[in-house]
Structure 1
C-alpha cells in the first residue's frame, strides 16, 4: 500500500500514537489548532490545564509515574515561555518531556515585524537547556524529526525535547510512511570496568551504595547486590521507596552528618544513577560532603555527568540496569559468597543518628508524612516547596517506587505540586495521590484545582498553611535581615475548593488526619484538606 496523505498536524498525532503516547497536556490556541485536527479520531486523551506551566508540570508528574515521556502542546510565544519553568525542572530532574509548540509562519521568522506571539528566536531560547530544539521547516521532515526526538527521550539522560512547527507548515500535506519505532541502544560498561568493579566489590569490607533517580528501575538487582555486599543503601529524594523497610535501607539525605559519616567510613562507595548535586548532597551548602578520591565509583548514563561533581576513581558509562546485571553475573561466576560487613548494624546506626539530628519540628512533620503512608498504603505523595516536604527530603521512606517526589530539589520551582499530582493521577488513575503543598505554593497553581476537577484526578490536596513563606522568613531572620515580602495573604482555601466543586475540610487537630484521609480517598475525584501550622493542634512539636 502507498503512503497515506495527511496534514502535518494529523500526521503528528499518528506519530505520537505510534510511539505509545496516550495523553497530551495543552491549551489550544489559533497558533496550534491545526495540530489538534487529528486528535478527535485518535486514542490520545487531551487534558487542559489552566496555564501552560501547569501543562508542563502535569506532563512531568505523568512521566515520573508512567515511565513514558510527558507530552505538551502549546502555542508560540507566551505558551512556550509559560512552559519554560516546567522544562527547566524536567532538565534538572532528568524527566523525559516532549514540548511541541507553534511558531509563526516561516516567511516571518527572524524579521521582527510585530506578529502576534512573536519572539526574536524562540528555538534558540529553548536550545540553551533542552536536549534538542528543532524548527520543522519542511513538512516531509516530520517523521525523521519525531524519530530523533523519541530516540533522545529514550536513550541517554532524559530531559526536555522541543519541536516547533510554523503555522504555515501545520496544514501542509505530507505522505506519511509506515511508522517506525526502532530500538534505541543503551550504554553498557566495557568488560574491563566490570571486572575492575567486581574485584573492588570482593575486596570491600565496608561498602555503601548511593542510589539516585537513575537507579530506580534497577531496584531488584540493586537489592541483590546490596545483600551480596552487605552494604547500606542511601537513597536520594528521587530514589525514595526503592527498599521500603529493608534492613539495609537508609532513606536519609547525604546532607546529614550521620549519613556523611557512613559514607566517609566506607572502603567502597558505589554511586548509581545519581547527579550528586547540591540539593541532595550539600543541602546546607556547608561543603561538608566527604572527599572520596580512592573509594568512589560512579555509574551514570551521561558521560558529561561523570565529568562533573565528585571525581571518581572509576567512572563507568552505563545504564544502572546494565551495569548491575553484568556485575552480578561476574560476582556469581567468581565467588558468589556474601560478605559480612555489619551492613545492617551500620544502616541502623545511620538511620537513628540521622533522625536524631533533625529538630523536633522536623520530626513532627515527618510523623505526619508517615501518617499519610500508613493510612493510605501505596499512595503517591507529590510535594511542592513547603516545610513538611523539606523535612521529608531529609528523612522519609516511601512505601513504593515513585511514591515520593517533589520540586524542592534541583530547579526548585514553586507551584509544581498541584499540576504534577494531576499528571501522576492520570498516569495511575486507580492510585491515590496526595499533593502536599504550602499556602504560598498552592497560590502559584491555584486554578489547577479546576483542572483536577475536570480530569477527575484522584488527588487529595493537603495544604500546609503557615500564612506566608515561612521558610524564607526564618532564613531572613537567621541572616539578620528584617523579613520583607514573606506574608502574602492566603485565601480561604475551603471556599476556593467549594467554588471548584471540591469537598474540603480544615483540621483542628492532626489526630483527625487519618479519618480525613480515608474519607477523601473514598470520594471520587479531587478533595482538599487544610492543616494550619499554628492553628491545627499537633502540626508542630
Structure 2
C-alpha cells in the first residue's frame, strides 16, 4: 500500500502512533531508505492536529497527504479535521488502523466496524469524505486504492479502514488504474463565456481558494489587461490576486464593504475557484442575482448562477480563456480601493487584534506562508493584512474550527520547509497549541503568533451585542502564555508584546532573519474589541466594562 501511495506522488504522512496503526507506520518508515525523494513521517500530538497538518500540507503543495491513526478515540479525533478537508475540498487520505477481524463483533478492543453493537466507523468516515472503504481482505486493497486515489484526484478526502490482521497479511500486487491527474485533457472554454467577457462593460473577477491553489495570478493578470476587469477575492483567494491588479477588496462577512459596492455596479461577475459559500459571498447575494454570473471550478456553486462551468484544471481553463481574449485591451473600469470596517472600539485592556495585525503585517516576509485561525484573530488577519502579505494565505472557513491554523501551518512548514507565520487566538492555542511541540521536534520554520485576550473574543462580542441581559461566560482570568511556553520549551525563542509599537519592533526582529526553527510571539489584546465581522458592527451594541481583576 505504501509503495502504491508513493508511486502516486504522496510524500507526507502525519499521524499519532497506536497498536492498530503501527504496521502502517512501520511500512512508511521502512520505505524511506529505498526511495529517491523523501517520504516524511511526522508524529503529531493529537489526531485532529495530524489531520489538519495533512490538510495544510496538501493545500500548499498541491499534493495529497496522509493522516494515519489507530482505531477508537484516535480515529474519532481525526473526523473533525477530515470534515474541514471535505468542506474545503482538500485531498487528504485517512488511513485508519482497526481491530483485527477475529475480534469484530466479539468485544474486540476498539472494535468500531460492527454496528449497531459498536460505533459505525465506516458510516462516520463516509459522512466526511468523498470515498470510504473497509478493506476486509488483501485482494480488496487494489480496488480500494483505486477508489481512494480517484477521489483525491477530484479534490476530495478519502478514508481506508484496515483491520490489523489484514495489514500484516501477504498482499497481491496493489498496482491499479493510473491517477486521473495524468489523463486530463486541455480544457475547452465555452464560446458563450468568451462572448460574455468580450461584451462586458464592467466585469468583476472574484477569486476563491481554488484560484489560490491553482496559482492563477498570471492568467488573471492577462484577463484584467484584456477586459478591464477589476478583482475581488474571497478570504482564501487573496494570494491569487496579481501584484498591482485593480483590487477592490475581500468579500464575505470579514471582508471589505468596497467589494460589495463594486459588485453592485458590475454587469458580469466571473467566479474562479469558489463554491460561493456564505463566508465567501456574504454581501454579494443581491448582485450575484442581478449581474450575469459565471462560476468556474470543480464543484457546483452553492447558489444559482447564470453559467456553471466544471473543470478539474482551473489553471488550464483560465489560461485558455486568457488566450481566447488575447489582443484585446481595456483599462480598469473602476478605481475603487479596499475600504475597512471601522467598528467602535471600547475602552478595555491591551491593544486590539486589528492594531496588532497592522503592526505585524510589515514584518511578515513576502515569501512566507500565512495561516490564520478562527475568531477575532482570523477576522483581523482577513480584514487587515494587505494583499501580497506572504506567498500564500490560508484560513479554515469550511468548518471554522479553532486550532486548525496552528496545526495546518505546522504541517505546511514541515512539508515545504517554508517559513510559516501562524496567527491564532488564545482559545485556539488552548485547543491545539501543543502542536508547537511537533514543530520543535521537527525543527519546522514556524512563527506562532498568539493574540491573547483572555477570552473567546468573538463570543464576548456576540454576548454583548445579542444577549445583553445574560451573564457572560467567555472571559477568563489572565494567563501568561509566553511565560508558560518559555518554561515548557527552554530552547524556543518566545517574545511578548502588549502595544502596537512593541509588536512592530519585536516582529521585525523575530521575522527579519532567514527562516529558522520555531519561535513564538504572544501579544496581549483587548477582550472587548469588536472584530471586523460585519454582523457585529453595530454602534448601539452595549459593551460590558472590564472587571477589576481583568483591569
Q: Is the contact between residue 25 and residue 72 of structure 1 (CA under 8 Å) also seen in structure 2?
A: yes
Deviates more, 1:136-145 or 1:76-85: 136-145
Deviates more, 1:475-484 or 1:203-212: 475-484
Write the deviation string for residues 168-194 of structure 1: whole angstroms up to 9, x where unpaired: 101000132667644534487666xx2
* Aligned equivalent of 1:446, options 433, 444, 453: 433
- Give the alignment's TM-score, normalised by structure 2: 0.84
Does residue 337 of the first structure (1) align with residue 328 of the second (2)?
yes
Q: Is the contact between residue 50 and residue 407 of structure 2 (CA under 8 Å) also seen in structure 1?
A: yes
Does residue 27 of the first structure (1) align with residue 13 of the second (2)?
no
User: How do residues 205-220 of structure 1 correspond to structure 2 at under 5 angstroms?
Assistant: 205-216=201-212, 217=214, 218-220=216-218
- Aligned position for 1:136: 135
Alpha-carbon distance in 1 for matches of 2:274, 2:81: 21
Partner SS, residue 330 of structure 2: coil
Alpha-carbon distance in 1 for matches of 2:298, 2:525: 42
Alpha-carbon distance in 1 for matches of 2:187, 2:296: 9
Change (3 A) 1:397 1:461: same
Alpha-carbon distance in 2 for matches of 1:426, 1:60: 12
User: How do residues 15-54 of structure 1 correspond to structure 2 at under 5 angstroms?
Assistant: 15-43=4-32, 44-54=39-49
Change (3 A) 1:181 1:199: same
Change (3 A) 1:398 1:369: farther
User: How do residues 430-469 of structure 1 correspond to structure 2 at under 5 angstroms?
Assistant: 431-469=418-456
Does residue 322 of the first structure (1) align with residue 312 of the second (2)?
no
Q: How many residues align?
A: 502
- Aligned position for 2:275: 275
Q: Structure 2: where are the runs of 5+ without partners? A: 33-38, 113-117, 533-551
* Aligned equivalent of 1:74, options 60, 69, 83: 69
* Aligned equivalent of 2:497, options 507, 523, 531: 507
Write the deviation string for residues 441-476 of structure 1: whole angstroms up to 9, x where unpaired: 100013212111101111111110111112101111
Alpha-carbon distance in 1 for matches of 2:65, 2:249: 28
- Aligned position for 1:392: 381
Does residue 238 of the first structure (1) align with residue 246 of the second (2)?
no
Alpha-carbon distance in 2 for matches of 1:473, 1:277: 25
Write the deviation string for residues 138-167 of structure 1: whole angstroms up to 9, x where unpaired: 21222332233222212x3x2321111011
Q: Is the contact between residue 251 and residue 397 of structure 1 (CA under 8 Å) also seen in structure 2?
A: no
- Give the alignment's TM-score, normalised by structure 1: 0.86
Partner SS, residue 176 of structure 1: coil
Change (3 A) 1:117 1:27: farther
Partner SS, residue 369 of structure 1: helix
Q: Is the contact between residue 58 and residue 65 of structure 2 (CA under 8 Å) also seen in structure 1?
A: yes
Q: Structure 1: where are the runs of 5+ without partners? A: 1-11
Alpha-carbon distance in 1 for matches of 2:471, 2:373: 22
Alpha-carbon distance in 2 for matches of 1:178, 1:189: 29
Q: CA deviation at 1:117?
A: 5.0
- Aligned position for 1:5: none
Does residue 203 of the first structure (1) align with residue 237 of the second (2)?
no
- Aligned position for 1:531: 523
- Aligned position for 1:59: 54
Q: CA deviation at 1:219?
A: 2.6
- Aligned position for 1:116: 110
Partner SS, residue 516 of structure 2: coil
Q: Is the contact between residue 123 and residue 134 of structure 1 (CA under 8 Å) also seen in structure 2?
A: yes
Partner SS, residue 219 of structure 2: helix
Write the deviation string for residues 192-247 of structure 1: whole angstroms up to 9, x where unpaired: xx210111111111011111111221332122112211111111111112225423
Cα root mean square deviation, aligned: 2.7
